[in-house]
Copies of this chain bind each other. A is one copy, B any other.
Amino acid sequence: MRILVTGAAGMIGRKLGARLAADGAIAGRPIETGHLVDIAAPEPPAGGRFATLCEALDVAEPSAAAKVIAARPDVVFHLAAVVSGEAETDFDKGYAVNLDATRALFEAIRHERDRSGGVYRPRLIYASSVAVFGAPFPETIDDDFLAAPLTSYGAQKAMVELLIADYSRRGLFDGVALRLPTIVVRPGPANRAASGFFSSIIREPLSGREAILPMPDTTPLWCASPRAAVGFFVHAATLDLNRLGPRRSLTMPGFSTTVGEQIEALRRVGGDAAVRRIRRQSDESSARIVSGWPGRFAPRRALALGFSADSSFDEIVRVYLEDDHVPAVA
């Protein structure tokens, strides 16, 4: 089978590429070729047992969608996106990439399907987000709760979810939108996303560096590890999507915690010395953004379909230590 990953140089994209390279197959069907694209060319995953084409491609370019679909990939993992902060500050870019380029990809599939005489109908797996939800929330958000985003990023993700349901209902492709929790612990240098501190307060102290915590200990968090997130995509690639019926958006499982509980998990691994590297410094603008985030879901449909995530924050920290931790240089 042929696979395509957009956004393949991003944090999840890289890990997904590595996992697929290691597996070499999806649901027992060998992967023959992998096409990995991103705005800058992704690194080829180590140890891949199939031919991999890594390409720099701006999905917002008019010809990009036709180019990646021409080879008729059987599974399309669509992760490319402008992140939430940038989609908020650059209105045009957010809609151009997150909505228009995604729709162009869907249209390219529809037209390739027409050219194939109705035979081509790939599986499409989309990285959506709990950003489709906006406050006020009930204590626990169930699968029937409305999408009322409070960012342009969330609005764009929710619009694409509607497209995925409509294209799937019409049989143009077989799609699913995975609403990812906040992914922690993110490796690499701290980024400037409002949610970045949820990762940096674990990652930085464990590497002997200071981290800034702009929010109180009571701040809720719905989270999953990067390894769990990759697992969602792989599971979605193997699942019989007819079991979803017409509702093609699934809130992924996660673990509900708080900043205070995160800090206690850090203490268990790194001791008081690690916790002392967290510097509290309240930040009005982060507080405003994060207060609109949901803390607890009941993702019954995804659980019934076999999606699974980390079962504790300790496990999430352990996954970070195993997969991504860079020890402090003495």
Contacts and interface: CB of A to CB of B under 8 A. Distances in A.
Interface of A: 91, 134, 138, 143-150, 152, 155, 158-159, 162-163, 165-166, 169-170, 246-247
Contact of A165 (B143, B145, B149, B165): B149
B146 A146 contact: yes
Contacts of A165: 148-149, 155
**Which of the listed residues A148, A150, A169, A170 has the most CB atoms from chain B within 10 Å of its own CB?**
A148
Nearest to A166: B155
Contacts of A169: 150
A166 B149 contact: yes
A99 to B, nearest CB: 9
A82 to B, nearest CB: 14
A134 B166 contact: no
B170 A162 contact: no
A147 B149 contact: no
A146 B143 CA distance: 8
A158 B162 contact: yes
Contact of A246 (B134, B144, B146, B162): B134
19 contacts: A91-B170, A134-B247, A138-B144, A143-B146, A144-B145, A144-B146, A145-B146, A147-B162, A148-B165, A149-B162, A149-B165, A149-B166, A152-B170, A155-B162, A155-B163, A158-B162, A159-B159, A159-B162, A159-B163
Contacts of A146: 143-147
